[in-house]
Amino acid sequence: MFINGKWILRKDLEVFNPYNLETIGYIPSLSREEVREAISIAQEYKDTMKELSPSKRYGILMDIAREIQRRKEELARIITLDAGKPIRQSIIEVDRCIGVFKLAAFYAKEMRGETIPLEDGIILTKREPVGLLGAITPFNFPLNLVAHKVAPAIAVGNVVVLHPSPKAPMAAIELTKIIEKVLKKREVPLGVFHLLTGRGEIVGDEIVRNENVNMVSFTGSVEVGESITRNAGFKKITLELGGNNPTIVLKDAPIDRAVKSTVRGKFLNAGQVCISVGKVLVEEEVAESFIEGVIRETKKLKVGDPMKRETDVGPLITPESAERVENLIKQALEEGGKLLYGGKREGNIVYPTVMEVDADNILCKVEVFGPVLPIVRVESMEEAVEISNNSIYGLHAGVFTRDIEKALWIADKLEYGGVIINNSPTFRVDNMPFGGVKRSGLGREGVKYAIEEMSEIKTVVIKLDR
């Protein structure tokens, strides 16, 4: 952990390589009292961070981006060791992280208010930092999802306490070292950034409850998100939670494109993506050709050691995660699902699996967070929309059709935070607003939109004698 510019090294928790379960490091596991002390120190630096000029914040963010670029291959390797992500996908994650810091640097200079005229004066608005941001991040994008909280927080002038998932904390540790180096170079007190490692039920819970924290930005499970809404008090919160993201394939869809996008969007990072394809709803007229194409493309995927460049699908994060997905497959079969391909598990690896199921199957109701693709036949786009909206989730949806009127009608009817036309719901770029409705979350990420969430509008009224 990194508190007030000092590294505290203890071997409280082991960190494992998900592929071979070898120990790759250790982290301290903070007590609640240690977290309270760190937060107390952090809140003393709120004025320091707020008073940094936009140009200085710009320089800090660009320096971080350049240092990440310099260490790109090393950071990608750490992500793969830490989270089991195939190395090609890890390299893409590092590239995205660089882009996030550059975007945040741009917006550090572009935060603008409004002027509102009065008959005898003027109203000015300006954005100010919330103060102290608690950032709680997951294992599946252990660098870029950290960047999506840290970079906009710095851009707007917030102090940060970062709590990464103990399942994959190593990338966040390396990013903290980079931030430390840049802050020293820019002569900024190191107390503006803190890394707090340990168990979520202690570290994360204290961040959520602590009255010195002004905002919590969390990415993770619905269950933890619900706990945060109960315990955060009057602080601001943004929650990026889970989903069972439908992909609707209409009979006039570009089938080859739909097949390739679906397979790519389902099996990226072994399905451990909040916007992974949750289920496919395909019109009956094209169901056979679509299913044949999906099986054909899925068979091409290389499964195994994530350090090998040819690997497409690596392990799940823990043995418990792999066992959970295996049990979901078994339950889906018991509920009448038909196994079309895959279904095998070896250790932490669950092989890419394709199933045909009914709309009330367990796979269509939960977030699987694994490499399992359920396909449902439907009679019409209206039925597909009805099934899609009959869900506790509302993160992303994908729609494949050549008819723009149908696409826009479906986009209007779907109760989701994002609707992706002619691509899978897994599509995301880092400058778009990102988030869900229902139990998929509160607020929006995406650098510009995160800055809006992480700031407050101050109104200044000037009365003039005329």
pLDDT, tens digit, 9 for 90 and up, residues 292-337: 999 999 999 999 999 999 999 999 999 999 999 999 999 999 999 9
What's the chain's length in residues?
A: 466
Residue 364 annotated in active site: no
Cα distance between residue 239 and residue 59, in whole Å: 29
Helix (H) or strand (E) holding 338: strand 338-341
Nearest to 321 by CA among 344, 355, 351, 348: 348
Could you tell me the strand order of the sheet in which 455-463 lies? 115-118, 121-129, 455-463
pLDDT, tens digit, 9 for 90 and up, residues 184-231: 999 999 999 999 999 999 999 999 999 999 999 999 999 999 999 999
CATH number at 2-241+438-463: 3.40.605.10
Cα distance between residue 369 and residue 324, in whole Å: 10
Could you tell me the strand order of the sheet in which 277-283 lies? 338-341, 353-356, 372-378, 277-283, 245-249, 396-400, 418-421
Cα distance between residue 291 and residue 299, in whole Å: 12
Q: Is domain 245-421 annotated with CATH 3.90.850.10?
A: no
pLDDT, tens digit, 9 for 90 and up, residues 55-112: 999 999 999 999 999 999 999 999 999 999 999 999 999 999 999 999 999 999 998 8
pLDDT for the residue numbered 465:
80
pLDDT, tens digit, 9 for 90 and up, residues 347-385: 999 999 999 999 999 999 999 999 999 999 999 999 999
Residue 240 annotated in active site: yes
Of the candidates 34, 67, 97, 274, the residue annotated as catalytic is: 274
Q: Where are the domains of the chain?
A: 2-241+438-463, 245-421
Inform me whether the pLDDT recorded for 249 exceeds 80.
yes
Of the candidates 93, 240, 326, 356, the residue annotated as catalytic is: 240
| pLDDT class of 277 with cuts at 50, 70, 90 | very high
What are the beta bridge partners of residue 378?
283
pLDDT for the residue numbered 160:
98
Cα distance between residue 378 and residue 384, in whole Å: 6
pLDDT, tens digit, 9 for 90 and up, residues 130-183: 999 999 999 999 999 999 999 999 999 999 999 999 999 999 999 999 999 999
Q: Give percent above pLDDT 70 in the chain.
A: 100
